[in-house]
Amino acid sequence: MIFLKFYITTPIYYVNSDPHVGSAYTTIVADIIARYKRLMGYDVFFLTGTDEHGQKILQAATALGKDPQSFCDELAGRFKKLWTKLGITNNGFIRTTDENHMKVVQYFVRKMLQNGDIYKGEYKGWYCVPCETYWNEDEISTERVCPSCGRELKYISEQNYFFKLSKYTGALLDHYRRHPEFVQPDFRRNEMLKILEGGLKDLSITRTTFKWGVPMPDDPEHVIYVWVDALINYISAIGYPSDLENFNRYWPADLHLIGKEINRFHSIVWPAMLMSVGLPLPKVVFAHGWLTVDGQKISKSLGNAIDPTYFVEKYGNDVLRFYLLRDINFGKDGDFSEKNLVNRLNSDLANDYGNLLHRTLAMIEKHYSSTLPAPADSDQIDEKFKEEVQGRIKEYQKLMDEYSLTQAVEKILEVLMLSNRYFDERKPWVLAKQRDFSKLATVLYNVCEALLKVAVMFSPIMPDSSKEVLSRLGFDSQPSKEIFDEWGTLRSPVKITHGKPLFEKKELVSEKKESEPKMENLIDLDEFKKIELRTARVLSAERVPKSDKLVKLILDVGELGQRQIVAGIAKYYEPETLVGKTIIIVANLKPAKLMGVESQGMLLAAKDGVNLRVLTVDGDIAPGATIS
């Protein structure tokens, strides 16, 4: 017997904030593929987890006044809880703060050192904390914002260890040529080829300005770069190097499923790291597109419009999973909208699927006392129907195998369309009236067999409703690929259960009201007027000694004279970049002392959970101007 294994991974998620429908997307799709492979008889190992080290996580924990480990414990718990709620069937869950993982990272990096692939040097350049990514001067524009996420970059200058990534340019190009399937879809492969053809630069792989990470072997002043740490999860989780039996069973990974923005790490950096220690490369890296919600980039301000739990509770897991595959063309960017979800639910699921099941089972209930009859004679129309259904199933399998998931779903819907057409064409209600029970039996049996096949094709995507359909059809075995191969897998006579509608139609009543965040604590104008806001020109700005948060600013506030303000913005600004800017302050706040330094007011700043930006004015205005 051939041993069929399938090792599939999701990226490990940053735990700086709660998961949203965008992050759930990768995991849901991975779960669909994992379930499909199990259905096809593979021994599947499906891995997900959390990425818990690095500056971004440290900042998020510090901002909440929490110690990073307990912050990560809490967030990792929330990810696990969500995956359970979404019915995710992962076999492993790795956390980069697991002791074993950290040891493996050190072991791996030591091997790279021993192989002469790591050297010490000086890094001077730009860094995006939210993406935990280094950028070369020639990759960024004069605005100095991250080419990937658009947020402000930080200039860093550190003594670092470097990985000789450049050394692997040729070997990677060669691998890409020999394995055209390595990076998918094709247009993503081409993007990577372009980078490779331009030549690679060595990669800084340690940091010294904070401690939240895996210490560099023999040089603990350095922590290992969060991406190097994170990528190693794919092998530490399956036993490298301590349980080589398990490791060799599953490695190389068959599929790293990722989002497009982290393709470079998976398709260039990770394979080069593996080459450095002499391990085989993953078979496929598939980079999917990004979701927007109602046309907008996903951010916390979208309220419950991005909370997967909200959709699961309102529509059920199956509907959310179906919608994500059906409406977002897998591989491309796409828009998630509750309105479209409801439309798909009502038309594809309630009408084309649920209603057909309902009509068919109702007739079996009525004319055959709820017992599925055996088919009798088959004519040309019946044979053509069977053939067409079997053809679509073959196409479905091929499309699933090549990760054309949206197109595979279309094949299932085509089977439903063919079945509805067959039902309408054969007019079973007329056959019943004519008391042609032999023909009626053939028609009803065939529709049930097609519905069984639909349920099995849907089983990786909509596991709950598939289980329900199988049980209503009296099919009590596990769904398996054998059901695809031949016609007539339903036993008869067997008891069927009519049951309630498979999918309830929904109406999206007042969509806006539901998704708009509610404003509480309304105040009246008089209360607002108590706050005296003024413009102020920054004359000087410097860090408060011994504090990594505070900056002391001296301000010109026009008629109010000079003021000294202390603000918690050091993590987001190089203080000197603020000099000369006109900012907004609360001028009538009682003075207070922060780390022993007096603050005579407060500046205004906007925060989105990741970034902080000081409010400035749009154009020239005198310092001390009033604001209303």
The smaller minimum CB distance to ligand MSP, of residues 63 and 597, is found at 63
The distance of closest approach from Cβ of residue 262 to ligand MSP in the complex, given in angstroms and rounded to an integer, is 5
Taking phi over 0 as left and psi of -120 to 50 as alpha, with beta for the rest, 493 belongs to beta
Whole-angstrom CA distances from 315 to 306, 335, 336 are 14, 18, 14
Q: Could you give the CA distance from residue 449 to residue 447 in angstroms, rounded to a whole number?
A: 5
The smaller minimum CB distance to ligand MSP, of residues 118 and 291, is found at 291
The smaller minimum CB distance to ligand MSP, of residues 229 and 382, is found at 229
The smaller minimum CB distance to ligand MSP, of residues 118 and 230, is found at 230
Name the percent of the chain in helix, strand, coil, to the closest 5: 45, 20, 35
Give the burial class of 314: count Cβ atoms within 10 A of its Cβ; 0-12 exposed, 13-18 middle, 19 or more buried: middle
Contact 352, 416 (CB under 8 A): yes
DSSP-assigned letters across all residues of 157-221: EEEEEEE-GGGGHHHHHHHHHH-TTSEESHHHHHHHHHHHHT-PPPEE-EE-S---SPEETTEEE
The smaller minimum CB distance to ligand MSP, of residues 30 and 361, is found at 30
Give the burial class of 498: count Cβ atoms within 10 A of its Cβ; 0-12 exposed, 13-18 middle, 19 or more buried: middle
The smaller minimum CB distance to ligand MSP, of residues 35 and 56, is found at 56
Q: Could you give the CA distance from residue 624 to residue 563 in angstroms, rounded to a whole number?
A: 11
DSSP-assigned letters across all residues of 277-328: HTPPPPS-EEEE--EEETTEE--GGGGGGG-HHHHHHHH-HHHHHHHHHHHS
Q: Could you give the CA distance from residue 602 to residue 545 in angstroms, rounded to a whole number?
A: 19
Residues 6 or more apart whose CB falls under 8 angstroms from that of 282 comprise 234, 252, 253, 254, 255, 256, 266, 270, 271
Residue 521: CB atoms within 10 A of its CB come to: 4
The distance of closest approach from Cβ of residue 21 to ligand MSP in the complex, given in angstroms and rounded to an integer, is 8
Contact 127, 204 (CB under 8 A): no
The smaller minimum CB distance to ligand MSP, of residues 49 and 601, is found at 49
The smaller minimum CB distance to ligand MSP, of residues 17 and 397, is found at 17
Instruction: List the one residue out of 118, 148, 150 whose CA is nearest residue 133.
Output: 148
In the complex, residue closest to ligand MSP by CB: 259
The distance of closest approach from Cβ of residue 52 to ligand MSP in the complex, given in angstroms and rounded to an integer, is 9
What is the b/e burial string over 381-404, where b = at least 16 CB atoms within 10 angstroms of the residue's CB?
ebeebbebbbebbebbbebbeebb
Contact 71, 212 (CB under 8 A): no
The smaller minimum CB distance to ligand MSP, of residues 133 and 599, is found at 133
The distance of closest approach from Cβ of residue 513 to ligand MSP in the complex, given in angstroms and rounded to an integer, is 24
The smaller minimum CB distance to ligand MSP, of residues 13 and 123, is found at 13
The distance of closest approach from Cβ of residue 13 to ligand MSP in the complex, given in angstroms and rounded to an integer, is 4
The distance of closest approach from Cβ of residue 581 to ligand MSP in the complex, given in angstroms and rounded to an integer, is 31
The distance of closest approach from Cβ of residue 248 to ligand MSP in the complex, given in angstroms and rounded to an integer, is 21
The smaller minimum CB distance to ligand MSP, of residues 200 and 291, is found at 291
Contact 133, 592 (CB under 8 A): no
Contacts to ligand MSP by CB under 6 A: 11-14, 22-23, 25-26, 51, 230-231, 233, 258-259, 261-262, 290-291, 298
The distance of closest approach from Cβ of residue 23 to ligand MSP in the complex, given in angstroms and rounded to an integer, is 4
The distance of closest approach from Cβ of residue 227 to ligand MSP in the complex, given in angstroms and rounded to an integer, is 7
Q: Could you give the CA distance from residue 30 to residue 117 in angstroms, rounded to a whole number?
A: 33
The distance of closest approach from Cβ of residue 312 to ligand MSP in the complex, given in angstroms and rounded to an integer, is 17
The smaller minimum CB distance to ligand MSP, of residues 273 and 587, is found at 273
The distance of closest approach from Cβ of residue 131 to ligand MSP in the complex, given in angstroms and rounded to an integer, is 8
The distance of closest approach from Cβ of residue 298 to ligand MSP in the complex, given in angstroms and rounded to an integer, is 4
603 phi, psi to nearest 5 deg: -90, 160
